[in-house]
Amino acid sequence: MRQLGIVGVGLMGGSLALAARERKLFDSIVGCGRSDESLRTALELNIIDRALRLEELIASSDLIALAAPVETIVALIPQLSAAKQSAVFTDLGSTKTAIIRAILPSIRARFVAAHPMCGTEYSGPKAAFSSLYQDRIVVLCDTEANDKDALEAVERLFGAIGMKIVKMRSQDHDRHAAFISHLPHAISYALANSVLNQEDKQSILTLAAGGFRDMSRLAKSSASMWIDIFKQNKPALISAIGAFEGELKKAEKLLNDEDWEALKAWMRSANALHDIFKSS
């Protein structure tokens, strides 16, 4: 595969391009995006070799990575039918079921749906860095529908940039991602708004230390990107929010009842989470 085409040259797409360039995986890396300014920045930062129109990128690339917001990915998929017959497609979207449902039957075997489990709260080409994917997990979904060579091409790409590959059903992925990715963002937005809605928010923020800053960091994430994710994964996210509300209600009741021993036990039960992380 000689040319990598990246649709969306921000944090995710730009970092993929930089990682692939660092490892010399392609002869050429081309990109397209929604704004001329982003493309100019991507060229200046040597993220891409050339900026192309979407139609040119699709027609000329051997592997095409869709690194746009998830609703944009769904909207772009019909245009992929103009690609060369041997082309391979993947995406970097945080939801999978809606994207897979949108894939045209004519290209389904060539489209390997992926979700790299990484990112930061920043966006745009200037946020991109080559080590974003190193030692992180990428989930490949519903791969039984893929041609062997297409799947191997995507596995080689992600493997070469240092990712650990996990395969999963798309519905399972979306349910799990709701808890470990989408819910934390919802909580962070809610935490930020709960403080901003107080009359004396400036005095409150004067006291902000590591705990608050860590938990509110995700509230800096792009609203235009995350509204798409919430929209596509609505049922699973609502379920996750319900489970979280249940735990908060439990803590609230124990506080009201002044049942300190039970509250301590509730906190200790949560400590087990990091024991699981250590053993995995």
Are 19 and 88 part of one and the same domain?
yes
Q: Among residues 139, 168, 197, which one ends one of the domains?
A: 168
Are 124 and 245 part of one and the same domain?
no
Are 151 and 215 part of one and the same domain?
no
- The model carries a pTM of 0.89
- pLDDT tens readout for residues 188-236: 999 989 888 887 777 767 776 667 788 888 999 889 899 999 999 999 9
Are 179 and 161 part of one and the same domain?
no
Domain that holds residue 241: 173-279
pLDDT, residue 280, reads: 64
Q: Provide the CATH number for the domain around residue 34.
A: 3.40.50.720
* Partners of 267 in beta bridges: none
Are 147 and 186 part of one and the same domain?
no
Question: CB count, 10 Å around CB of 8?
Answer: 25
Q: Provide the CATH number for the domain around residue 230.
A: 1.10.3660.10
Are 20 and 145 part of one and the same domain?
yes
- pLDDT tens readout for residues 134-190: 999 999 999 999 999 999 999 999 999 999 999 999 999 999 999 999 999 999 999
- pLDDT tens readout for residues 96-141: 999 999 999 999 999 999 999 998 888 999 999 999 999 999 999 9
Are 94 and 220 part of one and the same domain?
no
Strands 111-116 and 137-141: antiparallel
Are 122 and 213 part of one and the same domain?
no
- In total, how many domains does the chain have? 2
Closest CA relative to residue 13, chosen from 149, 121, 116, 156: 116
Q: Among residues 113, 141, 168, which one ends one of the domains?
A: 168
Task: State the DSSP string of 129-145.
Answer: -TTTTTT-EEEEE-GGG
Are 109 and 203 part of one and the same domain?
no
Please tell me the total number of residues recorded for the chain in this structure.
Answer: 280
pLDDT over 80 at 79, yes or no: yes
Torsion sign, CA atoms 32, 37, 38, 41:
positive
Place of tokens 């746009």: 68
Closest CA relative to residue 74, chosen from 217, 210, 229: 229
Rounded to whole angstroms, the Cα distance separating 271 from 176 reads 20
What average pLDDT score do residues 262-273 get?
93
Are 116 and 21 part of one and the same domain?
yes
Are 8 and 111 part of one and the same domain?
yes
Q: Among residues 168, 194, 221, which one ends one of the domains?
A: 168
Are 103 and 28 part of one and the same domain?
yes
